[in-house]
């Protein structure tokens, strides 16, 4: 399945999660966009020596990559939690030259590698009561829980040998969001998801400026930053992904 097919499939799935609630929803927002993901940090699989920690930029030669994302948000009646679903594909590849081991397999000289960290988020949240009313619609804040699924896959190939590791990580997180809307057609928004336990942590922050173009159509741009630290099943990774994004969507 190519990138466009995955993109359309996940768009359909995330939309179907929320659209059945449209009849009773107080609001519905669907957006698609592109995020410029700039990677940094280190990755290792069963490291023994310091040289086994591979720098994403200097060793693996990963560059900024623009990849699509989809998000769907539904605001339901006050007695039901609101729903926020998001799909964020993430994949990198590069060619390096180094002596190291990966998963106990020694590599020396030229090698190629891939890293995939596709992410799926589904959050259940409530808006803070009376805040929107008290500020005459200018300020709104949200608080809830987020279930993040990360499909992790890392592989290294050199001298005809390939070593790889696959993981599916299920991460419960706290979700918080805030929107400031000084006028009807313009808003500034921020949202964060995060958790830390043991030697692992997962932080995901988004800031955007949104402009209503006409009718339900809006366009927005902003910045997204992720800080992920993984130490499980032999994988040790301290990675960051950050960069600007643009999106367009419909808000009812």
Q: Minimal CA–CA distance to 225: which of 199, 202, 195?
A: 202
> Would the pLDDT of 3 be above 50?
no
pLDDT at residue 19, as a whole number: 47
Interior/surface letters 173-186, b for 16+ CB within 10 angstroms, e for the rest = bebbbbbebeeeee
> Would the pLDDT of 184 be above 50?
yes
pLDDT at residue 10, as a whole number: 52
> Would the pLDDT of 21 be above 50?
no
Give the pLDDT mean for 142-150. 96
**Lowest-pLDDT range, 16-30, 93-107, 109-123, 154-168?**
16-30
> Would the pLDDT of 227 be above 60?
yes
Give the pLDDT mean for 10-34. 63
Question: What domains are there in the chain, each with its CATH number?
Answer: 3-237 (2.40.128)
Question: What is the band of 123 on the pLDDT scale with cuts at 50, 70, 90?
Answer: very high
């Amino acid at each position: 399945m190519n990138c466009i097919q995955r993109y359309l499939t996940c768009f359909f799935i995330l939309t179907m999660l929320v659209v059945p609630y449209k009849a009773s929803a107080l609001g519905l927002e669907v957006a698609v966009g592109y995020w410029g993901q700039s990677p940094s940090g280190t990755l290792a699989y069963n490291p023994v020596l310091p040289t086994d920690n591979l720098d994403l930029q200097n060793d693996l030669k990963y560059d900024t990559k623009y990849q699509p994302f989809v998000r769907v948000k539904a605001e339901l009646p006050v007695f039901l939690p609101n729903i926020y679903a998001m799909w964020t594909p993430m994949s990198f590849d590069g060619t390096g030259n180094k002596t190291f081991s990966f998963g106990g397999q020694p590599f020396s000289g030229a090698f190629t590698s891939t890293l995939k960290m596709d992410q799926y988020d589904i959050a259940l949240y409530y808006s803070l009561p009376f805040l929107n009313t008290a500020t005459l619609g200018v300020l709104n804040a949200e608080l809830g829980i987020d279930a993040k699924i990360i499909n992790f896959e890392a592989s290294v190939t050199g001298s005809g040998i390939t070593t790889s590791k696959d993981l599916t990580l299920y991460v419960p997180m706290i979700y918080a969001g805030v929107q400031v809307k000084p006028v009807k057609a313009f808003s500034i928004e921020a949202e964060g998801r995060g958790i830390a336990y043991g030697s692992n942590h997962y932080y995901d922050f988004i800031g955007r400026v949104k402009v209503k173009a006409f009718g339900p159509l809006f366009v927005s741009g902003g910045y997204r930053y992720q800080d992920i630290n993984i130490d499980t099943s032999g994988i040790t990774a301290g990675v960051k992904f950050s960069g600007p994004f643009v999106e367009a969507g419909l808000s009812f």
